[in-house]
Amino acid sequence: MTNHQPPPGGTGTETPGPRIGNRHPLALVLFTLTVVSGFVDAVTFLGLGHVFAANMTGNVVVIGFAAAGAPGFSVIGSLVSLGAFLVGAALAGRLARRLHGRRRTAWVRVALVGEAVLLATTTVLAFAGAADATYVLIGLLALAMGVRNGTVLKLNVPDLTTTVLTRTLAGLATESRLVGGEDTLAARRILAAVAMVAGALPGAWLVLHHGMGWALLVSTAAVTVAACVYRERPEATPEASAS
């Protein structure tokens, strides 16, 4: 039984679900965003007080750690992130309804542009060395991730959530051929995990050795390029789109 969400509507805006193959333009965008998530959480966790902007499960756990008195964790920072994330997700829901009847390409591109603008703003603030801007940076990044997560939730592409891997890795193990399963999404699940590491590793290196601004600049550039190049052929059928 699939968790099929109502689409924004119109030709080309149907919820793609499992019909989207790994080489489909939308899948490639989602892989790119997964890489960006690694950069963003490297910035917030290593540079902004052990807070997550993309991984809200981590924030809930961090709040528990901080409330118990564990050093180095911020209840306020995590609450700011959670609140901004929820606002962003709500905006994504409003966007999906506002663009009801429009093609999926236009809807996704608007969400990508919104994320790119928010990331660009944090990049400018980081390079400017704005004093006491920690919570502002956390809020803007979490807002961007909320917009993205709300949009990705509506897209409903299996195992390409772009920000969390728990269910993806569980599926990889439980549906593996090693245990008698037929994991048709194994390649996607592995690629999603690799994409996250591919963002977290250089993101952490940039934060630790060159500052947050450079990691945010790379993130901004990646999302901007994705927004500019993302296209889907109007005449393509779901079967033709799958790889």
Q: How many CB atoms lie within 10 A of CB 93?
A: 15
pLDDT per position as a tens digit, 201-228: 999 999 999 999 999 999 999 999 999 9
**CA count, 13 A, side-chain hemisphere, 158:** 23
**Helix and strand totals (H; E) in the chain:** 9, 0
DSSP string, 62-89: HHHHHHTT-TT--HHHHHHHHHHHHHHH
Closest CA to 43 of 232, 185, 211: 211
pLDDT per position as a tens digit, 102-158: 788 888 999 999 999 999 999 999 999 876 799 999 999 999 999 999 999 988 888
Closest CA to 145 of 111, 169, 121, 168: 111
Closest CA to 13 of 158, 118, 162, 156: 156
Q: What is the pTM of this model?
A: 0.86
5 vs 114: CA distance, rounded Å: 22
